Structure 1
Amino acid sequence: MLPPSEGKTPPANNQAEVLDVDSLTLPSLAPERRQVLQDLISASERKDAQQLLRVGDKVMDEVAANQGLRQAPTAPAHQIYTGVLFDALATESLTTEQRKRAETTVMIFSGLFGVTGFTDRIPAYRCAIDVNLPKTGKLSSFWKERLAAPLKEQVQNQLVVDCRSASYARTFRPDPQQTLAVNSFTERDGRRTVVTHFAKAARGKLTGMLLRAASPPQTIDDVADIASQEWQVEVRPAAGNTPHQLDLISADRSAE
């Protein structure tokens, strides 16, 4: 399970097919997705759109582009999202077999769509999960209520490797006993710190490693073994409502 990226790249092909909400992963969510889509378009047309969508001056062109989302060209989600995590995942180098694995095992959470598959075709958009839209309300709460049942059915008893940021993790919490939350730390002189940029990159790189593994990892030990090829790894067992934790630890070499 991945978060989206704030940065999104519109498709190079302006003639690409437009959004088909019914074709997205978990099609039962189509009515909810249409509701949020319409609410986002309407909010983006308002004079107070910048305040509603909680964005800075530099991305107001993206807010304006939201108004044309129904006619905007689409591309696979993993191509639209172009932030640090997705750069580290390096999807362009996946083989056909690895890409098929991603299609069936990777889910990307979204303020606009709730969740999509790795290759679902979506347009570039601007809408974070903590936005409070005029009619829909706070999107994190809206999606939390509506994702629980379909995602529980989708996940069933599979191991969930959770690479989401906290705001997106709140929208769906799988059973802690079958969830492995991924954390990233840099360590210097025995002290560990979290650097957001490096944490995103580590989660993206780990996702890519899992997709490229000779056989799909099935257990926490499988994931930890793969991660140990790149990081010092520690696993903390689940406790109560807190899932298992996979800590990826890198040496801080910034002072060298």
Structure 2
Amino acid sequence: MLVLLPPSETKSAGGSGAPLDLSALSHPELNPTRERLATALSTLADDVPASLDALGLSERQVEEVRRNAELWDAPTAPALERYTGVLYDALDVPSLSPAERKQADARLAVASALFGIVRGTDAIPAYRLSGGTSLPGIGPLRSVWRPVLEPVLAATDDLVVDLRSGAYAALARIPGAVTVRVLSEDATGKRKVVSHHNKAHKGTLARALAQAPAEPESVDDVLAVASDAGLQVEREGDRALCVVVRA
């Protein structure tokens, strides 16, 4: 099983790993694109105003540009420890047992605007680049990643549970993936899309899938794991699930 998580804009600082080594990352066929984007991003960081504009940042976020400037020299950390925020708080990797962490590293991956996809143990630096960005001299990341990332994901034989958000789902389509959305339901039964808390419930589902003793192999298996974790999940189609949250 492959559970594909969205990344987060926020990332932990520092790390104890050696500087970025693309050859050590999973899916080496993505390395030419990774190198092209990393070089463009670090070069862009030499021009702070241009970086802020291209990345959609304010002047108060200039530290994010500094991270990009140090991309090739900064210390690294495993991907599942690098990303932070609501989803990753719910996933709570530090609290997993050694056996569960091994399963999480094998089953979970993170979609990345810079690296395409990274597995749990891939050592990466802190950086700032969003899926909807158009880099000067490069163009929209969707156009860059689709031709190279889609074949990699399409070659996955395992069940794919796609938890990505829209901008990252646009970087590569995955035919046959199980998609998940989150809706809140009020006392009258009316449902609406959950925004902020959407991430927390997806993080809870990802944690349950990582902890499951037997690796889920079907949509029914995913439903069973979610139910055991206390989530109300409904089937909306052959490969579409909905997490329902009581308002």
The TM-score by the shorter chain falls in which range?
Answer: over 0.9
Q: Quote how far apart the aligned CAs of 1:102 are.
A: 2.1
Task: Note the alpha carbon deviations across 1:53-97, whole angstroms, 9 max, x for none.
Answer: 112233221112211111000000111101111110010112222
> What is the match of residue 8 of structure 1?
11
CA RMSD of aligned residues (A): 1.4
Superposed CA offset, 1:33-68 (max 9, x none): 111001001122223211111122332211122111
Aligned partners of 1:227 and 1:248 also within 8 Å: no
Residue from 221, 246, 249 that aligns with 2:244: 249
| 1:202 alignment partner in structure 2 | 201
Deviates more, 1:80-89 or 1:103-112: 103-112
Could you tell me which amino acid in structure 1 is paired with residue 140 of structure 2? K
Does the 8 A contact of 2:142 with 2:172 survive in 1?
no
The amino acid across from 1:97 in the alignment is: A
- How many angstroms does 1:192 deviate by? 1.0
Which amino acid in the other structure matches residue 73 of structure 2? Q
Once the two structures are superposed, residues 157-183 of structure 1 have per-residue CA deviations (whole angstroms, 9 ceiling, x without a partner) of: x2111110011111222223xx21111
**2:71/2:127 contact within 8 Å kept:** yes
Q: Aligned partners of 1:103, 1:27: CA distance in 2, in Å?
A: 17
Once residues 170 and 22 of structure 2 are traced to their aligned partners in structure 1, the CA distance between those partners, rounded to angstroms, is 23
Q: Decide which of 180, 183, 198 is 1:182's aligned counterpart.
A: 180
2-structure distance, mates of 1:233, 1:105? 20
Alpha-carbon deviation of 1:236?
1.6
Contact 2:42/2:70, CA 8 A, preserved across alignment: yes
Query: 1:191 offset after TM fit, Å?
Result: 1.0
Superposition TM-score, scaled by structure 2 size? 0.93
1:103 and 1:80 mapped to 2: Cα distance? Answer: 13
Equivalent residue number for residue 232 of structure 1: 232
- Aligned equivalents of 2:233 and 2:73: distance in 1? 46
1:72·1:123 contact (CA, 8 Å) conserved in 2? yes
Could you say what secondary structure the match of 1:150 adopts? helix
The corresponding residue for 1:241 is: none
Superposition deviation, residue 12 in structure 1: 4.8
Contact 2:104 2:211 in 1 (8 A): no
Distance (Å, rounded) in 1 between the aligned partners of 2:153 and 2:237: 23
Contact 2:108 2:210 in 1 (8 A): no
Q: Is the 8 A contact 1:19 1:74 kept in 2?
A: yes
* Secondary structure class of the residue paired with 2:130: coil
Partner amino acid for 1:3? P
Maintained 8 Å contact 2:234/2:241: yes
Give, as a single letter, the amino acid of the residue that structure 2 aligns with 1:79: E
Instruction: Kindly indicate whether residue 138 of structure 2 is the aligned counterpart of residue 136 of structure 1.
Output: yes
- Taking the aligned partners of 1:87 and 1:49, their CA distance within structure 2 comes to 29
Distance in 1 between residues matched to 2:28 and 2:143, nearest whole Å: 20
User: For residue 39 of structure 2, what is the amino acid of its counterpart?
Assistant: Q
2:220 aligned residue: 221
Asked if the contact 2:87/2:199 (under 8 Å) is kept, the reply is: yes
SS of structure 2 residue aligned to 1:45: coil
> Could you tell me how far 1:32 is from its partner in structure 2?
1.1
Quick one: structure 1 residues 37 and 12, their matched pair in 2 at CA, closer, same or farther if it must change by over 3 Å?
Answer: closer
**Structure 1 gaps, min length 5:** 239-243
